[in-house]
Amino acid sequence: MGIDDLITHATLRRHGLAHHRLPFSQTLTVFPLRPQTAFSQSISPSRRLSYWYRPHTSTQRLPVLFLHGVGAGLRTYASFLGDFIRRDAASLSAGKDDGQTGVIAIEIMSISMRMTTACPPRSEMLAEILAILRHHGWDELKIAIGAHSYGTIIATHLLQTLVASEENNNNNDTNKIGPLLLIDPVTICIHWGDVPYNFLYRHPRSASEWQLQYFASTDMGIAHALTRRFDWSENVLWKDDMKRRDITVVLSGRDIIMESHGVRRYLLEEEDPELQFRTVDSRDYYGGDDDGHESELGGRGLGLLWYDHANHAEMFDTTRDRAPLVGILDKYCSFT
């Protein structure tokens, strides 16, 4: 994991992201140790969360907050973030934008196969993320959110908390949640029981299930986060929460953690006109702008992108599979 962390660190720096490390007093709270972070010139305003940052200079686009899932931290998503930044840089070079799109990618070490402190509870996690946003002046901006798996739960907490604050008019962090790209969103179906059972209690049979159990389910920090710092009843994104919002849900047809076919039926079998999803199969999306399919998702309202061939998180593995996600997030940034 130490070598993997070093490679990820170098990759994200090459993509133009700057690391904001924890204070040196917190250095020994993460193992394997991260000696490369000693060269990070910026310190996180949070004592619990480090992150990667790309400044936001555009006045025409929304910045991006990215929240990763359980696994090896940001390693799984480094190429995705790189693809998004290259696309944004190309638009800027072509004169299509007046500045670059900012990115903040949070590092949650407690669910990243590290030996570290316990995962912060919901209220503390939200406070730490909001502190990071305020540090960069993003509390004054509407933000687009990209989230995967466990990260969709944190995105749900942000959405529900800030919307409630807006209704009560009791703080300045209101009306700041813009479009959401929710990939493998366990938050939608977590109350069904399939997710906790498949992740924590199922006896593995296939190779991918054994891999899930060995590297994730039985990892000390991850197991503690999901069994001691996790109230399933607080982590559901209800359909009513999606009304009048711009959200794309991305599902994997061969997902071994969530019952994605059931989630698809649950989302599509809805008579309420405010909850009608536009649906696109990933195989019909690969052409992008060349054949017009890209315009079908990433628009206003609700959309569903279906990867029939993919397991949980596998859409991040290849440039071809990442392209629809990058395209949708890029479009969402234009929703000012």
Q: What are phi and psi of 190, to 5 degrees?
A: -65, -25
Interhelix angle 78-93/319-332, rounded to 10 degrees, is 60
* Other C-beta atoms lying within 10 Å of the C-beta of residue 76: 18
User: 15: left (phi > 0), else alpha (psi -120 to 50), else beta?
Assistant: alpha
Mean pLDDT of the chain: 89
Q: What's residue 96's pLDDT?
A: 87
Please report which confidence band the pLDDT of residue 312 belongs to, taking 50, 70 and 90 as the band edges. Answer: very high
Please report which confidence band the pLDDT of residue 293 belongs to, taking 50, 70 and 90 as the band edges. Answer: low
pLDDT in tens, 76-103: 999 999 999 999 999 998 888 889 999 9
Q: What's residue 230's pLDDT?
A: 76
Domain around 326: 2-332
The answer to whether residue 295 scores a pLDDT higher than 70 is no
Is residue 198 within 8 Å of residue 205, measured between CB atoms?
Answer: no
Lowest mean pLDDT among 32-41, 181-190, 246-255: 32-41
pLDDT in tens, 188-225: 988 888 888 888 889 999 999 998 988 888 888 888 88
pTM of the predicted model as reported, rounded to 2 decimal places: 0.92
Please report which confidence band the pLDDT of residue 182 belongs to, taking 50, 70 and 90 as the band edges. Answer: very high
* Other C-beta atoms lying within 10 Å of the C-beta of residue 127: 13
Q: What's residue 290's pLDDT?
A: 45
The answer to whether residue 167 scores a pLDDT higher than 70 is no
The answer to whether residue 174 scores a pLDDT higher than 80 is no
**DSSP letter assigned to residue 115:** B
- Sign (positive or negative) of CA dihedral 15, 303, 60, 104: negative
Does residue 187 or residue 176 have the better pLDDT?
187
Does residue 200 or residue 311 have the better pLDDT?
311
Half-sphere exposure of 309 (CA within 13 A, CB side): 10
Q: What's residue 294's pLDDT?
A: 54
Lowest mean pLDDT among 39-43, 57-61, 99-103, 327-331: 39-43
Mean pLDDT of 244-249: 94
| CATH code for the domain of 305 | 3.40.50.1820
**Tokens matching residue 152:** 């969709």
Percent of the chain exceeding pLDDT 70 equals 93
User: 281: left (phi > 0), else alpha (psi -120 to 50), else beta?
Assistant: beta
Residue 137, classed as helix, strand or coil, is: coil
* Count of domains for the chain: 1
Q: What's residue 173's pLDDT?
A: 46
* Rounded to 5°, angle at Cα 139 from 69 and 305: 40
Which residue stretches of 115-177 are H helix? 122-135, 150-168
Residue 308, classed as helix, strand or coil, is: coil
